[in-house]
Amino acid sequence: MPLDLVVNVTIAGVLTGLVYGLMALGLSVIFGVVRVVNFAHGEMMTIAMYAAVILFGAFKVDPFLAVLPVAAVFFALGYALQAGLINPFITRPEHSQFILLVAVATIMVNGLLIGFGPDARNLQVPYQLESWEFGKILLDKARIYAAAAALATSAALFLFFKYSLTGKAIRACADNNLGALVVGLNVKHLYALTFGLGSACVAVAGCMMILLVDVTPNLGPAYTLLAFVIVIVGGLGSMPGALLGGVLIGVSEALAGLYITPSAKSMMSFGLLILVLLFRPQGLLGRKA
Amino acid sequence: MNRRAALMLGVLLVLLVVLPHAVNAYVLSVATLILYLAYTGQAWNVMMGFAGQLSLGHSLYVGVAGYVAGALFFHYGIGPWAGLWLAIVVCVAFGLAIGFLAFRFGISGVYFALLTIAFAEFTRIGFDHLAWTGGPGGMFLKVAQRDAWDLLNFRGPPIMYYYAMLLLCALAFVVCYLLLKSRAGYYWQAIRENEEAAQALGINTFRWKMLAVALSSAMTAVSGVFFAFYYNNLFPEQIFHISRSIEIILGPIIGGVGTLFGPILGAVVLTLLSDGITEALAAMGWEIPGVKQVFYGIVLLVVVIFLPHGIWPTLARRLGLSR
């Protein structure tokens, strides 16, 4: 295997992995605070991808501009979903929450199927075919931009949680729910806010991902599983962990596609997940519960 | 179980025995599917409903068992009665391996559920690359004459499969009834309600959880073998897919987790609902792909929101079967 090919594939894996990481970050933030696993996460991702396709098809809006309205709408929808449906399920057993979100996911997947049919959709922007060349190293412009946007969004979220008052309040809810209630925080509102933020992350990730792959309605469950794998490998509730997990999975997928066969790529991810769950259940960067 | 419940159960059983002679082939196939889901749901319920261990990867056992028995038949002509035992052994080995790894390392709750998904997905992709069983192209078992009962090879008319599944359902019901009243059943319920307290009382929770996984995987293995010989085709994409695991667990959850009738009632309600929606949409001419699943999802939402413990506990109270 020529070295420059391996290097190029690895770089592409890292860049795609950062977008994966942003998607998983949304799941991680939601689980870390609300303690509910969002089984509709990948389905939300595909909705964002369709949104970018539509905005581009109808109004020629570049995905990097489409990010803003799509993320805003997703924030509102995520807030409504948590406030209306999920908040009453916080104290229910896990299998109840699972069915609730599976039902939501089913409606999402099939709503897309009704609206857009089963065929793959994509969009074409001029810079998708351009790249920078450094000797034998090729850097796809679309991939670089997408990864940069993912990093910027993650950084913004990180700063929000670290320094803003609301971010601190949300972290307080996650650390000690009862304590947060005692000091008078509106926990349900903060939960909804968190779900909104997690949804906005997915929206950005979806708008970026559509530059890299085609979308079909059935892609949702695969992305949901992918997000779980990443978040558990990186450490549930750890923000840098989600990005690290994303990069690891992105690279392992890319290399498995190169060395073994593309269809075996998710076997690598699930193998990695099983190993991490067994030997470091809190994830690579997670704290012990 | 009070006398009223026993009477109703008897009537139900008689109805189920005579049913195939009163209905057409389509209804018979739907009834067989219901029994299949009821049985498999019962098997899942042993692990989750009794012992509180949430498995979201039960398609693993269905698929592995189907492939083991199917491959023996396909390659060597070994009938399902021998294949069944090997399938059970392999599935129990899988279950115990997952259980051992998870329980030893203290993995529980959501993490355990995700681990079961990971194993099922891992195996699915593995079978996709296993040429011996046909890879993604699937494995097809020879379909024998449909009119002769060949019990030895478990080939025959649809009615044979119906009765086989009815027998399995009845057996599973009795087994689960006895289990719930046994020492193991009480230990499991203690573990389900509060594992730490159970441990403090001296229950070896590891051992009893392993027993639950072993029993559940063994019971699910039987439905995997049934699946292989009833449908005669196996595709990794279908049999191991997470949607199949979801299909298995929806019945017991909608019916009532941890109850004996929940898995049965859930399978009946969900299958009739799914077929009813199909019929209704066809009658209205709305046969757009996806519409059915959207309705299904909405009904699921409504049930899970308004009946948090499933349909059976509410229904049983209405029928005067429980206080």
pLDDT in tens, B292-321: 888 888 988 998 899 888 899 888 888 877
**Looking at the predicted structure, is the pLDDT value of residue B65 above 60?**
yes
Cα(A176)–Cα(A191) distance, rounded to whole angstroms?
A: 13
How far B140 CA lies from chain A's nearest CA (Å)? 22
Most confident of B172-176, B257-261, B269-273: B172-176
**Closest-CA residue to A37 (of A229, A165, A258):** A229
B246-270 average pLDDT score: 91
Q: How many CB atoms lie within 10 A of CB B259?
A: 23
Position B35 confidence tier, pLDDT thresholds 50, 70, 90: very high
For residue A107, give the nearest of B113, B114, B297 by CB distance: B297
B70-104 b/e with 16+ CB inside 10 Å = b?
bbbbbeeeebbeebbebbbebbbebbeebbebbbe
The ipTM value here is 0.85
Pairwise pLDDT comparison (B286 vs A251), residue with the higher score = A251
- Are B147 and B25 in contact by the 8 Å Cβ rule? The answer is no
pLDDT averaged over chain A? 90
pLDDT for A288 equals: 60
Q: Are B173 and B264 in contact (CB under 8 A)?
A: yes
Residue predicted with more confidence, B110 or A195: A195
Per-residue pLDDT at A136 = 82
Q: Report yes or no: A234 and A286 within 8 Å, Cβ to Cβ.
A: yes
Q: Up-side HSE of residue A168: CA atoms within 13 Å toward CB?
A: 3
CB of A91 within 8 A of CB of A61?
no
The whole-number pLDDT of residue B191 equals: 92
Helices B158-181 and B25-45 cross at an angle (nearest 10°) of 20
Rounded distance, CA A96 to CA B54, Å? 11
- Chain A interface includes B81 (CB < 8 A): no
Point out which residues pair with A121 in neighbouring strands: A215
| Cα–Cα nearest to A268, from A2, A8, A17, A15 | A17
Radius of gyration of chain B (CA): 20
- Chain A: nearest CA to B128, how far in angstroms? 9
- Return residues 48-67 of B near A (CB < 8 Å): 48, 54, 56
Q: Does B107 touch chain A (CB under 8 A)?
A: yes
pLDDT at A289 over 60: no
Cα A9–chain centre separation: 22
Mean pLDDT on B12-16: 89
Asked if residue B188 has pLDDT above 60, the reply is yes
Q: Give the residue-averaged pLDDT of A12-18.
A: 93
Chain A's closest residue to B290, CA to CA, is A110
Chain A residues touching residue B290 (CB < 8 angstroms): 109-114, 217
Chain B CB within 8 Å of residue A232 CB: yes
Taking each helix axis as running N to C, give the angle between helix B242-255 and helix B25-45, from 0 to 180 degrees, rounded to the nearest 10: 80
Running DSSP on this structure, what letter comes out for residue B286?
Answer: -
Condensed to tens digits (0 to 9), the pLDDT of residues A254-264 reads 888 888 887 77
Q: Do A37 and B110 touch (CB under 8 A)?
A: yes
What is the three-class DSSP state of A131? strand
Minimal CA separation from B196 to chain A, in Å: 16
CATH architecture type of domain B3-10+29-318: Orthogonal Bundle (1.10)
Q: What's the token pair of residue B232? A: 């005669």
* Closest CA–CA distance from residue B163 to any residue of chain A (Å): 31
Domain ranges for chain A: 3-279
Cβ of A106 under 8 Å from any chain B Cβ?
yes
Residue B140's φ and ψ, nearest 5 degrees, are -120, 125
Nearest CA-CA distance, residue B73 and chain A, Å: 28
Q: Do A96 and B308 touch (CB under 8 A)?
A: yes
Please report the residues numbered 257 through 316 in chain B whose beta carbons come closer than 8 angstroms to any beta carbon of chain A: 257, 288-294, 296-298, 300-301, 304-305, 308
What is the arithmetic mean of pLDDT over A35-64? 93
Assessment of whether the complete model's pTM goes beyond 0.90: no
Angstrom distance (rounded) from CA B260 to CA B313: 10
On whether the A3-279 domain is CATH 1.10.10, my answer is no
Side chain identity at B256, as an amino acid letter?
G
What is the structure's pLDDT at B299? 86
Query: Which residues in chain A are contacts of B236 at CB distance < 8 A?
Result: none
Distance (Å, rounded) from C-alpha B174 to C-alpha B39?
A: 12
Residues of B within 8 A of A237 (CB-CB) are none
Taking an 8 Å cut-off on Cβ atoms, the answer to whether A281 and B101 are in contact is: no
pLDDT at A280: 83
Percent above pLDDT 90 for chain B: 48
Which residue's structure tokens are 């950084």?
A155
Higher-confidence position of B146 and A78: A78
Query: Which tokens sit at A105?
Result: 């996911």
Question: B122 and A274: CB-CB below 8 Å?
Answer: yes
The first and second tokens of residue A27, run together, are 């799941």
Q: Report the C-alpha gap between B240 and B236 in whole angstroms.
A: 6
Q: Cβ–Cβ of A266/B121 closer than 8 Å?
A: yes
